[in-house]
Structure 1
Amino acid sequence: MIPVQPTQVRWLNDEEQRAWRAFIDGSQRLMAVLNRDLADATGLTLADYRILVLLSEAPRNALRMSELAEGILASRSKLTHQVRRLEGQGLVVRESCEDDGRGVIARITPRGLDTLRESAPGHVESVRANFIDLLDQKQLNALSDVFEKIDSFLHEQSS
């Protein structure tokens, strides 16, 4: 959590400022390139692709909408809009939850699985060309360690 009113601002020094700005600029530029490459090749956005991946990896290719929202780090209303769009393309269906009848489950369709299989090779190549292949193994390990630490901290803070 961010303190409401810090008593004294802890300004970033030059090295911290460099790291912060490099992260902001690099991550935004990377996500824009990956999103453009995916959309140009398949018509899917990164958000669409992430939903299809999570559903394809889930038991019976389905997740509760609440679990899916948590998995893609989106609000339920934003997810509902995205799933509705994917449903219109025949890639996902929504069903009532068998357990309680109140919940809604999203399930990837056979067409959605085919679309994911067709789009994955090009997307992975874009990830390699614009991210993985630019770094050595030591840098990849450090990056994984850093963002696993950040993700864990922020997840604990939101729980």
Structure 2
Amino acid sequence: MSLGFDDLEASAWLHFESVAMALQSVVNRGLLHQHQLSLADVQLLGHLKAHGPSQMGTLAEMLMVTPSALTQQTQRLERRRLVRRNASNDDGRRVLAAITSEGTRLIEASLETYARLVRAHFLDELSRRQMIALGDGCRRISAKMKATDSNVEPTDG
């Protein structure tokens, strides 16, 4: 399958895509099994623990989900008493999500599981030099995507 790439490009892309999808699946399954949290839940709770109460719109953008999907996710986490939502003191129209003390306890254990899974299935397979090269390449790609993201309009294709 050429996908419009030369052999080296196709190989690099297909291996990256395959590993990214498989690793995300393994980590998600492990987190669900051990903590009844999805990878998306851990990303949300980890952000709230690190950055404090955050606006729902900002969270949806950061997590790359729709506001509706984030609302459903936070409602589910609220039922488990891991997150609470409140109106902003500055602007009552804005809703802030915050992690609860129960959420903080669970995210700490979940992040240990997350790190163990990523190490076992990804980092342990790379030398330090390979990690540096991979990290550098991903940083360059991310920076370019962020720089051009605001200038790109979706096409109807």
TM-score by length of 1: 0.88
Distance 1:120 1:85 in 2: 19
How far the C-alpha of 1:73 sits from its partner, in A, is 1.9
Among residues 58, 69, 91, which one is paired with 1:78 in the alignment?
69
Matched, 1:105 2:96: yes
Distance 1:145 1:16 in 2: 18
Residues 54 and 71 in structure 1, CA contact (< 8 A), matched pair in contact too: no
How far the C-alpha of 1:158 sits from its partner, in A, is 2.0
1:41 is aligned to 34
Distance 2:109 2:57 in 1: 27
List gaps (5 residues or longer) in structure 2. 151-157
1:50 is aligned to 43
Among residues 112, 132, 140, which one is paired with 2:131 in the alignment?
140
Q: State the SS of the aligned residue for 2:97.
A: strand
Aligned letter for 2:28? Answer: N
Aligned letter for 1:139? Answer: Q
After superposition, the CA RMSD in angstroms is: 1.3
Among residues 10, 15, 36, which one is paired with 1:17 in the alignment?
10
How far the C-alpha of 1:154 sits from its partner, in A, is 1.6
Figure out how many residues of one structure are paired with residues of the other and give that number: 148
1:120 is aligned to 111
- Deviation digits for residues 40-65 of structure 1, max 9, x if unmatched? 1111000000000000001xx21111
1:96 is aligned to 87
Structure 1 residue ranges, 4+ long, deviating more than 6 angstroms after superposition: none
List gaps (5 residues or longer) in structure 1. 1-9
2:142 is aligned to 151
Identity, % of aligned positions: 35
TM-score by length of 2: 0.90
Q: State the SS of the aligned residue for 2:92.
A: coil
